[in-house]
Amino acid sequence: MTDETWLDEAAAQFRVTDDALRQGMLRFEEEMALGLRQPAASSLYMEPCYVDLPTGRERGRAVTLDFGGTNARAALVELAADGCHVRGEVRRPLRAPGAYDVTRAETAEALFDFLADLVREALARGGARSEEPLPLGHTFSFGTRQRRFGDARLIAWSKEIAVPGVEGAYVNEQLRAALVRAGLANVMPTAILNDTAAVLLAAAFRAPGTAIAAIYATGFNSCYLETFGGRRPPMVYNIESGSFRHFPQNPYDRQLDTASAKPGAQRLEKMISGRYLGELLTRVLREGLHDAALPPLTAEMVGEAAQGTLAALPGGRPLPSAASLATLARALIRRSARLAAMTLAAVLRHRAAADRQPRIAPQTLAVDGAVFAHMPGVAATMQETLALLLGEETAQGISLRLVRDASGRGAAIAGILGAGERDE
């Protein structure tokens, strides 16, 4: 019988008090307001997206490219009166161990050639004519600085991607050059948008009035429609919620951050998103089991451990006490979901305050992403946290709706909007 209290002690490190969540929400709300006034002073990027919300009447054909999580995807999409038709979708992982790893590509060209290749394959599969001029909507899921809809500069990579030559540069310009190299001069990138904005577009296309969207997947982030209390035209803002710096880290968070590709950056994301959940659990186990060579656990394994269905640790290592491991995994997931909800509660409060509403109006928040969709307990914990932070009655009016596969549809809408084919 081994002493496994260390697992329970580690689990305790991942519990956050209700009070800490309340403080975090208020601080997040302050950082949003600060970011609007003085972007450099806030840990949140608060970047304007220069995208109009769709009317739902947009029609046309566009190429979509989605880059930023675990897979890249390209497709030929047609928005027609009878719905959205996706043709020839191609999906490829960014890393295939032993074969290639574009997250560590040596040059920007190599990365964009990989993406252009994917587009070429999707067009061939989708049966596009080789000369057909096509707009391309690019879902690029990183923090960018945007001053027009057609292109944006990458501010900084996140999610452990480290390709030189892209930070600070225009993204669609590089993509366009790669498309031309790939013989696809007929494909013109007309829009670039964050994945959260793609979710917002896809959701607003079907349900006008949707004003907040989030991604809870490999990365974590949200965007919303800022109304400026009616003093200026509304604008969609990419918050880059994961860059929030004012929530206390525990020792494992600090270790993970120090060892990451960008120490100090995306601190909240490193406590929430799927890219890091497995790594946090790995760190606890390596330390507790004195096994520095334990192979890394994935986010899926965290989910299995929480449900008691993980048969063994990676590398065939035996499980420590399954019950204590489940407690730890559940604490990790619960913290993640509570922090995610904390940021959304702040966005809801910010919007109500900007519009001088006496209370937060009932509404639907659009959420996409594998952690939200599949991680056990996440959606329910988020809803329960909204009730804690906003009050039962308000939270009852808030629905977190899973919008599956929104990136592609959002990118198509954006590509068509960008090409000026808006059907007014």
**Toward ligand BGC, which CB reaches closer, 78 or 160?**
160
Residue 290 DSSP code = T
- Give yes or no for residue 141 binding ligand BGC (CB under 6 A): yes
At its nearest, how many Å lie between ligand BGC and the CB of residue 167?
A: 12
Q: Which helix (H) or strand (E) holds 112?
A: helix 108-126
Q: Which amino acid is at 119?
A: V
- Give yes or no for residue 194 binding ligand BGC (CB under 6 A): yes
- For ligand BGC, what does the binding mask look like between residues 277 and 296, x meaning CB under 6 A? --------------------
> Which of 177, 157, 158 has its CA nearest to residue 166?
157
**Toward ligand BGC, which CB reaches closer, 40 or 311?**
40
Q: 100-101 and 152-156: which strand pairing?
A: unpaired
What sign has the CA pseudo-torsion 44, 49, 52, 54? negative
Figure out which of the listed residues 14, 112, 142, 237 binds ligand BGC, where binding follows CB under 6 A.
142
Q: Which region, judged by CB under 6 A, interacts with ligand BGC, from 108-116, 172-180, 193-201, 360-368?
A: 193-201
Separation CA 385–CA 143 (nearest Å): 27
Q: Whose CB is nearest to ligand BGC?
A: 219
Contacts of 287 (CB under 8 A, 6+ apart): none
User: Among all chains, which residue has been given the structure tokens 């604008």?
Assistant: 235
At its nearest, how many Å lie between ligand BGC and the CB of residue 300?
A: 18
> How many residues would you count in the chain?
424
Figure out which of the listed residues 43, 64, 139, 158 binds ligand BGC, where binding follows CB under 6 A.
158
Q: Both tokens of residue 356?
A: 């001088």
At its nearest, how many Å lie between ligand BGC and the CB of residue 14?
A: 21
Figure out which of the listed residues 35, 137, 242, 303 binds ligand BGC, where binding follows CB under 6 A.
242
Q: 152-156 and 143-146: which strand pairing?
A: antiparallel
- For ligand BGC, what does the binding mask look like between residues 213 and 232, x meaning CB under 6 A? --x-x-xxx-----------
- Angle (deg, nearest 10), helices 406-418 and 195-206: 90
Size of the site for ligand BGC (CB under 6 A): 18
Contacts of 352 (CB under 8 A, 6+ apart): 359, 360, 361
Figure out which of the listed residues 35, 143, 408, 418 binds ligand BGC, where binding follows CB under 6 A.
143
- Give yes or no for residue 68 binding ligand BGC (CB under 6 A): yes
**Binding interface with ligand BGC (CB under 6 A):** 68-69, 141-143, 158-159, 194-196, 215, 217, 219-221, 240, 242, 269
